[in-house]
Amino acid sequence: MRTEFIVSDEVFYITTAIYYVNDVPHIGNASEAIAADVVARYERARGRKVIFGTGTDENAIKVAEVAASSGISPQQYVDSMVPVWSDTWRAMHIQCDDWVRTTEPRHRRVVEAAFSKMLENGDIYKDLYKGWYCVSDETFFRESEVVDGLCPNPECRKAVRWVEEENYFFRLSAYQDRLLEYIEANPGFLAPEFRKNEVVSFIKAGLRDACITRKAYGWGIPVPGDPDQVIYVWFDALLNYLTIAGYLSDERKFAETWPADVQLVGKDIFVRFHSTLWPAMLMSLGVELPRLIHGHGFWTVEGGKMGKSLGNAIAPVKVSEDLAAMSGADFDVAVDAIRYFLLREVSFGLDGDFSTSGLIGRFNSDLANDLGNLLNRTLPLLHRHRDGVVPTPSPDDHDSRAVSVMIPATAAEVARRLDQLQFSDALAAIWGLVGRANKYMEEQAPWRLANEESSAKLDTVLYTVLETVRSIAIMIRPFMPTVSEVIWKQLGIEKPLADQTWADASTWGGLKPGTKTGAPEPIFPRIDTKRKPIEPAPTPAPKEEKKVEQISFDEFKRLDLRIGKIVTADRVPGADKLLQLTVDMGTETRPVVAGIAQWYAAEDLVGREIVVVANLAPAVIRGVESRGMLLAADENGTAILIQPDKEVPPGSAVR
Ligand SMILES: [Zn+2]
């Protein structure tokens, strides 16, 4: 176990995988980023300097293709997509210290320098490449892997391209033995254990040299001294972790920050890229390897597979809004509840299932009943019988001690679990304390202690519970930053929660007698399960919905709403909710994918006029390009198209 306070200049450096800009955030990416955020907040509370790095992967071929088809530059396209990710992370209370974009000059310099260094030391060489390439996955495949010209990735199955070109290769095969030796000598390097075993088998099966460049296509980082080639997006993207740490740009920062303490990635990119190519690249550069690379599992939705192509990927902001609407809780409280759910529901590393009933169950029992009640039952009593002022407890009360002794033990257990990324167990330990304090309330029944003789006992019971809640607020803060602040405000403690350290969680007596508490207000309103819950609806168009807020007229004017006339309408094969439309916009016709197939037959739509959001960033939905979104009224989940009162020329502005 790590010590409580680390006195050192060393930075605790934690990363997530960077996000592919063409995608939109779903709860799978969110749970990885939330996990990293929890660790970062916890390490900060322990007094450490922390860098939590994340970012966007922007140099892929598909970026250039999508941009070209939309008539904008790749740079404009990536600039429009980055806020989709960063705004979502902000809404989900994910507080990173650095956001690297692989199109930034600071990253390009690192990639160029790393490439040149490996070329000099003989780990990069030029050769003829012949093989299949899947643009969607940005992955090369051997001839034997491709059947019928389709990508062997079962979730992709798109047509692959035959590539025959002079490329640069990284001598990955030369690192096979060194990687195996390293993994054996450093048992904590890869986790969880069962995924580490997959890595070992993969390496033992034989590593091939990796093709790390492509013929230049006008986007991406050119090979230094050979502008006809661009660097392969994976070779480029992995180096982001060095960029953030200050590699080759800030020697002091790099010395303090590197090696990364924890690198979190999904299981799909754990074996091939992060546990094989990435450490080999670092070995070639003579840079120390990260302390821990952790490969987590995936989320299914209501027992079924989740994926962008399946149209059921759950948007984190949307599901938080739905939870707020179902319960009546504040949006920021609902966000914290989603954070709690994602880390409590499964053991980090394994696959998990996201279900509305599971979410409601956790919300009602763990949050509303257990944590919420602890405060909701105590504060009103304090206001009724003690004017809301924290009383002085009796020293040496036997029953009170039975609760207070649990606190340092719980704080130590939570720390031990967090050190091992066992978020669910850490929360279970905190909820053990919540449960013990609730049991103490039941045993003492303070609502029966308001008379003269039992006055001292009432003081002790109220104090004991509120002091326990104070400690719990500090312990849950990494997981639920807003909820812990709301609790803190109700406790009325003057010293800000932000100034509390992890040690303050385990010290008894932090709540000073005489403290004037705030007004008691329930934080988690129970969800009435008899009412039909709002289903986390599939999101046909990849858009991030925001909280309802007022906007200025100027902001409204940024929307380019136009009349379009539907020229053709077809079902998207394999997607029962989607229609693929071509829409006459006056000066051009455009493809628009709309999630209305349940309510409108394709043949009934041709010739109709609709309202289109014309300046929506383009997206690829189920492999079909979409440039714009049509407007429809939402009548209890049924889409009703908005149509002009009489026919107007296509392209007319809607104001
Ligand atoms: Zn593919």
Task: Give the tens place of pLDDT for each residue, 483-524.
Answer: 999 999 999 999 999 999 999 999 999 999 999 999 999 999
pLDDT tens readout for residues 221-244: 999 999 999 999 899 999 999 999
Residue 310 has pLDDT above 80, yes or no: no
Q: Separation of 468 CA from ligand 1 center, angstroms?
A: 53
pLDDT tens readout for residues 592-604: 888 888 778 887 7
Query: Which residue from 349, 486, 363 is spatially nearest to 421, judged by alpha carbons?
Result: 349
Lowest mean pLDDT: which of 95-104, 118-127, 605-614?
605-614
Q: Separation of 61 CA from ligand 1 center, angstroms?
A: 13
Q: Separation of 310 CA from ligand 1 center, angstroms?
A: 15
Q: Separation of 139 CA from ligand 1 center, angstroms?
A: 7
Q: Separation of 182 CA from ligand 1 center, angstroms?
A: 31
Instruction: Please state, in angstroms and rounded to a whole number, the distance separating the CA atoms of residues 317 and 338.
Output: 10
pLDDT at position 57? 96
Q: Separation of 271 CA from ligand 1 center, angstroms?
A: 17
Q: Separation of 23 CA from ligand 1 center, angstroms?
A: 15
Average pLDDT across the chain, whole number: 90
pLDDT at position 627? 84
Lowest mean pLDDT: which of 412-416, 466-470, 611-615?
611-615
CA 351 to chain centre: 15
| Most distant pair of Cα atoms in the chain: their distance | 92
Q: Separation of 142 CA from ligand 1 center, angstroms?
A: 13
Q: Separation of 387 CA from ligand 1 center, angstroms?
A: 66
pLDDT at position 316? 95
User: 106-126 burial string, b = 16+ CB within 10 Å, else e?
Assistant: ebbebbbbbbeebbeeebbee
Q: Separation of 540 CA from ligand 1 center, angstroms?
A: 21
Lowest mean pLDDT: which of 47-56, 156-165, 633-642?
633-642
Segment 139-146 mean pLDDT: 84
Lowest mean pLDDT: which of 138-142, 207-211, 222-226, 458-462?
138-142
Q: Separation of 349 CA from ligand 1 center, angstroms?
A: 25
pLDDT tens readout for residues 59-106: 998 898 899 888 999 999 999 999 999 999 999 999 999 999 999 999
Q: Are 88 and 46 in contact (CB under 8 A)?
A: no
Cα dihedral value 419, 34, 111, 67, nearest 10 = 170
Instruction: Please state, in angstroms and rounded to a whole number, the distance separating the CA atoms of residues 448 and 377.
Output: 13
Q: Separation of 232 CA from ligand 1 center, angstroms?
A: 16
Q: Separation of 601 CA from ligand 1 center, angstroms?
A: 31
pLDDT at position 451? 75
At residue 125, the 3 state secondary structure works out as strand
Q: Separation of 154 CA from ligand 1 center, angstroms?
A: 8
Q: Separation of 233 CA from ligand 1 center, angstroms?
A: 15
Q: Are 353 and 301 in contact (CB under 8 A)?
A: yes
Q: Are 100 and 240 in contact (CB under 8 A)?
A: yes
pLDDT at position 434? 98
Instruction: Please state, in angstroms and rounded to a whole number, the distance separating the CA atoms of residues 574 and 596.
Output: 14
- 557: pLDDT confidence band, cut at 50, 70 and 90? confident
Report which residue type is found at 299.
W
Six-digit token pair at 36? 């990293």
Q: Separation of 240 CA from ligand 1 center, angstroms?
A: 23
pLDDT tens readout for residues 419-464: 999 999 999 999 999 999 999 999 999 988 877 677 899 999 999 9
- 624: pLDDT confidence band, cut at 50, 70 and 90? confident
610 φ, ψ (degrees, to nearest 5): -135, 170
Q: Separation of 616 CA from ligand 1 center, angstroms?
A: 26
CA 542 to chain centre: 16
Q: Separation of 624 CA from ligand 1 center, angstroms?
A: 15
CA 305 to chain centre: 18
Pairing of strands 262-266, 11-16: parallel
pLDDT at position 129? 82
Segment 114-118 mean pLDDT: 98
Query: Would you say how long the chain is, in residues?
Result: 655
pLDDT tens readout for residues 7-37: 456 899 999 999 999 888 999 999 999 999 9
- 542: pLDDT confidence band, cut at 50, 70 and 90? very low
Report which residue type is found at 149.
G
Q: Separation of 107 CA from ligand 1 center, angstroms?
A: 27
- 312: pLDDT confidence band, cut at 50, 70 and 90? low
639 φ, ψ (degrees, to nearest 5): -85, 135
The helix or strand, by DSSP H or E, that contains position 162, with its residue range, turns out to be strand 161-170
Instruction: Please state, in angstroms and rounded to a whole number, the distance separating the CA atoms of residues 178 and 54.
Output: 28
Query: Which residue from 115, 146, 113 is spatially nearest to 132, judged by alpha carbons?
Result: 146
Name every residue whose Cβ is closer than 8 Å to that of residue 280 and which is 6 or more positions away in sequence: 170, 172, 175, 178, 179
Residue 545 has pLDDT above 60, yes or no: no
